[in-house]
Structure 1
Amino acid sequence: MAKANIRQIEAFNAVMKIGSVTKAAETLFVSQPAVTKLLKSFEESCGFDLFSRSTGRLVPTPEAKQLYTETHKLLAGVLRVEKTARSIRNLERGEVALVAFPAISMQLIPREVAKLIKNREGVNFTLLTRTSRSIEDALVTRSADFGLSLVPSDNPALKCEKFAELSMVCGMPSDHPLADKSVVSLRDLQEVSLVALGRDDLSFSIISSAFSRLGISMRPVAEVQMSEAACAMVSAGYGVTIVSSLASFGPWDKGIVFRPLLEPIKSTIWLVTPKFAELSKIAVELIETVRIAIVQHEERARSLPELYS
């Protein structure tokens, strides 16, 4: 006895619902003989009659009515599967978790994600903020699908590749004398109060090395852990700071302005992903969305310094 297939069940359900082979054929976009053949094959697979034909029209048997209850549930499930597949294909459904360093996870990522999933109610998003040194742990424990870090990973279970480059910029109070300059040199900062990111921050050594190459020393009068804290102090009128260009992404704080540096200081963002797991389509789209946002922001920072005013 052959097993029933989905086309036979569809034909059976259509006839049961509509009550006519002719109209069922129209809804299924097939010929009437095709529906009759499907019904006959379904009856053979079931092993009992589904319809009485003695009156010249198909009349469902009691067994057919019992079977219809189950086949209706089956086709409803198939429709849900098809709808889910379509949503996944159109990136309207899915789950994605990202772990990233603070400077990029405070403004740029949330804003780009909001635009990406605004009209995709079936997408669930999780953002974890971690220091670059602990991002690897979130990926190894599978708390996130991928990570953006300022530190490359050498973990054999992870894949690491260059993602983008960030420029460092100088932030200062809007009424600071250096605000009149379109570009600021590190030499201009020798005699001003410098609010630096802490020595545990990866940028500290990069910035300090840039000063050293000019034969001058970086002498911070304050050290904080996050660029948001440094910018808050500067906005309040205390000193200047050197932070990632990402600090200028988001709402404009009228108390602070940013200027490009004459001596470029760069840092690399690394994309870290599990080596033995494939990313979802929505994760791949999110990665590209963030990459484009960073590149565009960096281009504006280089070509239009006035945007930092």
Structure 2
Amino acid sequence: MNLRQIEVFRAVVTSGTTSRAAEMLRISQPSVSKTIQDLERSIGFPVFDRIKGRLRPTAEGQLFFREVEHVFAGLAHLRGAAARIRDFGSGELRVASLSALSTNVIPHALSALTSKNPGVAITFQTHMSSVVRDHVASGQFDVGVVSDEIDKIGVETRPFARFRAWIAVPEGHPLEARAVIRPADLVNQPFIALSPEDTTRQQAEAALDAEDVKLSIILETPYATTICAMVAAGLGVGLVDPLTAELFKGRGLVLRPFEPEVHFRTLLILPPHRPASRIVEDFIAELFHTLEETGKFGGGFSC
């Protein structure tokens, strides 16, 4: 059995006659008949009944045709994949990111990318940086955006964004009146903290320790969006990045600069030992372009 025999068999079933099948395939009618006979000999059962000069699929032929349709559906998928690969490199883009940039920079970059490459298939997921790192290292995703505390072994890393951290406080909170919030201002304040392994939290705690200030932590989370939501709900104050907090301004949250300055630092990561496709490099270029366009990074960003 070969693919040509399958193709002829499918053409006869869908067209109803060998003559129409021959027209569809641009071969002779005797060639169609011979190919069907060769197929039946190969698979060991008849696929058609010959009734008054017409071919009707046998019960076995109908079952076989169902399987043939699965094969042709797979071939159609392969043709589509080949077209995407021709046009876009990999044909698809799989992106994973930490939460902080998932509601701002990455959506804008993806929008710009798809406007130039409307046929590319995109998968996007948000996870903790350690999970993003594992997904990229295993090759499940093509590119990731993570905080800089990840284990860098097993991934290719590129510096991405560096931006100043701010203190988010609920609207109407006494700290809203401060132009700048300093460590002493956080004494006895209910504090919503980033995870202990977060390097920005570690920087902040070093600054607090230098002034012998201990935080009153009531909740820990790896997600800046969660901190913003908790602050907006009035649970306490927290250290956040300005991009994530932008979505919550005017919705129960205000931002104040924290001094001494501490910064969020992020990395782009790629699977090791695998050249990036054109669509991946185009996406990375859009990410950096989006950073340049926002102009919202206190302290700037490095790349």
Partner of 1:188: 185
Q: Using the alignment, how far apart are the partners of 2:264 and 2:140 within structure 1?
A: 26
Task: Give the corresponding residue for 1:294.
Answer: 291
Instruction: State the shift of 1:179 in Å.
Output: 1.9
Change (3 A) 1:94 1:162: same
| 1:119 Cα deviation after fit | 5.9
Counterpart Cα distance in 2 of 1:81 and 1:177:
58
Look up the match of 1:206. 203
Tell me how far apart the structure 2 counterparts of residues 107 and 195 of structure 1 sit (CA, whole Å): 22
In structure 1, the partner of 2:152 is 154
In 1, the alpha carbon distance for the partners of 2:257 and 2:177 equals: 12
Q: Which residue does 1:130 correspond to in 2?
A: 127
Change (3 A) 1:248 1:291: farther
Whole-angstrom CA distance in 2 between matches of 1:259 and 1:239: 14
- CA separation of 1:282 and 1:223: change in aligned 2, threshold 3 A: same
Counterpart contact for 1:108–1:249, Cα < 8 Å: no
1:166 partner letter:
F
Alignment correspondent of 1:265: 262
CA distance in 2, matches of 1:241, 1:211: 14
1:172 Cα shift? Answer: 0.8
After superposition, the C-alpha distances for 1:248-274 in whole angstroms (9 at most, x for unaligned) are: 244644210112222111132122112
TM-score by length of 2: 0.63
Larger Cα-atom Rg? 1
| Number of residue pairs aligned between Structure 1 and Structure 2 | 222
> 1:73: which partner in 2?
none
Q: What SS does structure 2 have at the residue aligned with 1:128?
A: strand
User: How far is 1:234 from its partner?
Assistant: 1.3
2:176 is matched with 179
- For 1:211-250, list aligned pairs within 5 A: 211-250=208-247
Secondary structure at 1:175 match in 2: coil
Give the match for residue 139 of structure 2. Answer: 142
Name the % identity: 22
Letter paired with 1:198? S
Pair 285,95 (structure 1): closer, same or farther in 2 beyond 3 Å: same
Partners of 1:170 and 1:139 in 2: CA distance: 31
Task: Structure 1 unaligned segments of length 5 or more: list them.
Answer: 1-64, 68-79, 304-309
